[in-house]
Structure 1
Amino acid sequence: MRLCLTVLLMLLALPSAAVIETYEFSAPELEVRYRSLSQELRCPKCQNQNIADSNAPISKDLRRLLYQQLEAGATDQEILEDMVRRYGEFVRYRPDFDRNTVLLWLAPLLFLALGGALAAVVLRRARGGPTQALDSDERARLDALLADKDRAQ
């Protein structure tokens, strides 16, 4: 027990492995744009991380490049176009609406419409049609069955 506690305290005493990069921006607006763009750009190596959250070397390079482009006066659109040209549309979390991404943007609406249509069909079938009244022969047979049941009890 004492050994476990000692090891735990030693591990807690280690410095954090996360490296926080800080850049000195010439204007506060550039820092806001930097944060926004780094949240919007996906790490090319990582599956579902943006470059702001990733510690992959490529993400560090992309953050440095983003900083340099912002300080050089590039617009957000120019930076995004440059990143897409280098890494493809995958690098953007919100790709533009064009013929290559039309399915990506419309698929949720299509699935929602198909789900609604399926629910309507299931509900319509579950309700069934209107009940029909029994004719005199069916009524007589039902009465006979009920009478037999009462006698059996």
Structure 2
Amino acid sequence: MLEIIGFIHVILCSIISLYWLWSSKAFDIFYIFYFLSLNLSWVIMNNECFITYFFKVLKDPNYKMGQNNEVKDFEPILGKTGSVLFNQYLLTMNVINLFLILTRSFDSFRKIAIALFILSYTFYIEANHFSFINKDSRKKIYISHGIISFFVLAYFVNSWLKSR
């Protein structure tokens, strides 16, 4: 069961990370909705992906959310080193996908909103992966990223609904 969860997570992440290969401008709004929602879930779930959290709880019923922010469900499929490398690949591809969307879609104000989100996402990821950032600063970055993600998502949902 645990390997199946890991396999599904790796496949889904791989497909989404290659968005720039198979995507078209028509799908950019859905990628934005997905990615902003994902980031909000990370902030709400204490830097955990829902799938990874589910995996950790199945493996250890006493696991507390946010206790360890490693993506453990990749390990049964990719090994420890492969899991770390794949996670770094995903983080990089997220930025590449967002830059692609930034350059080809939307009006100027939406591009500014996406650029602000990319900057926020970059700080959020750096805060997760560099231990020299103290706990108070890290918490402020997480909260700021959550707020920015929420408002950018709300803006995109509102503008999408108005266009319907």
**TM bucket by the smaller chain?**
under 0.3
Q: Between the two structures, name the one with larger relative contact order (CA 8 Å, sep ≥ 6).
A: 2
Of Structure 1 and Structure 2, the greater helix share is in 2
User: In terms of Rg, which structure is larger?
Assistant: 1
TM-score normalized by the length of structure 2 = 0.21
TM-score normalized by the length of structure 1 = 0.22
